[in-house]
Amino acid sequence: MVIAITRDVSPRFSECEITHIERTPIDLEVARAQHYEYVNVLKELGCHVIELPAKADLPDSVFVEDTAFILPEVAVITRPGADSRKPETESIVRELATHIKLVHVREPATVDGGDVLVLGKNIYIGLSSRSNQEAIDELNEMLHEYGYKVTGVQMHDCLHLKSAVTRVDDKTLLINKSWVDIHHFENFELIEVDPGEPFAANCLPIGDSIIFPTSFPKTCTKLVERGYKVTTVDVSELAKAEGAVTCCSLIID
C-alpha cells in the first residue's frame, strides 16, 4: 500500500516564506478546506494517509515534501534552505523512522525536497535559493552505495526544480522549458505546459492517476489527450504560498 504523510495547515500559514511571487492575502479557512480535499483525494486513490497535526509555530510546515525525499532503500532527511523551516524536519524524522531507514543531510549543505527530482537511479537537484552545491556533493557521497548519481540543474524564475519539471511516469516529464536547463532530460518524452500556464509543471502521480491542479485546464487537457487519468484538485490558496500538489505529501511507495 502507498503511504502518504501529510500535515495540517498551520494557523500562521499567512506568514509563509515567499520568494518568486508577490505576497497576496491568504484565506486560512479556504487553505484548510483545500488541503482537506487534497487529503481526501489521496485516500480515494488508495493511499494510507498519515495526517500529522498542524505546527502552529511553523507557517510553511504543511509543505512536508521539503523535509525529506524517499527512495526505495532510504529516506533522506533534508536541511531546508530557509532558516525558518529547518525545525520542520524534527517531527518528520520521528514519523519516517517507523517506516524506513533514514540518512541526514548535514551542514553546510542545504536542500529542499521540492528541489529533488528522482528519475530511476538519477537524482536531479535544482540549484536554487534553497538548495546548494554542497548538498549535491554530500548526497553523491551518501547515496553512492545505493547506485544513485546526483546532478545539479540550473533553473530560474521559480522556487523549486519541481516548479519547473515533474515526473509523469517512467518515460515522461511535465515541464516548463523556460525555467529549467532541459538538456538533462533529453532521454524523456517531454510534455510542455501551456504557455499561458507557466506554473503548471507540477503534478503528482499516484498509482494509475495523476493529481493535478484545477487552475491549469489547458495543460490538464494535454495530459488527458496523452491518455493519462487525471484527478484534479483546487490548491489555489496553497499556491499563494508557492505550494503545489507535490508539496503537501511525502509518498512512501
Supply the residues annotated as catalytic. 160, 247
Residue 156 has a CB neighbour count (10 Å cut-off) of 13
12-33: b (≥16 Cβ within 10 Å) or e: bbbebbeeeeeeeebeeeebbe
Residue position matching grid coordinates 487553505: 31
Sign, CA torsion 20/90/237/124: positive
Distance between CA atoms of 230 and 247, rounded to whole angstroms?
18
Residue 103 has a CB neighbour count (10 Å cut-off) of 16
Residue 76 grid cell: 533522506
Burial of 34 (0-12, 13-18, 19+ CB in 10 A): buried
DSSP sequence for 10-43: PTTGGG---SSS------HHHHHHHHHHHHHHHH
Nearest Cα to 144, choosing from 251, 81, 71?
71
**CA 241, 247, 251 angle in degrees (round to 5)?**
165
Distance between CA atoms of 243 and 104, rounded to whole angstroms?
24
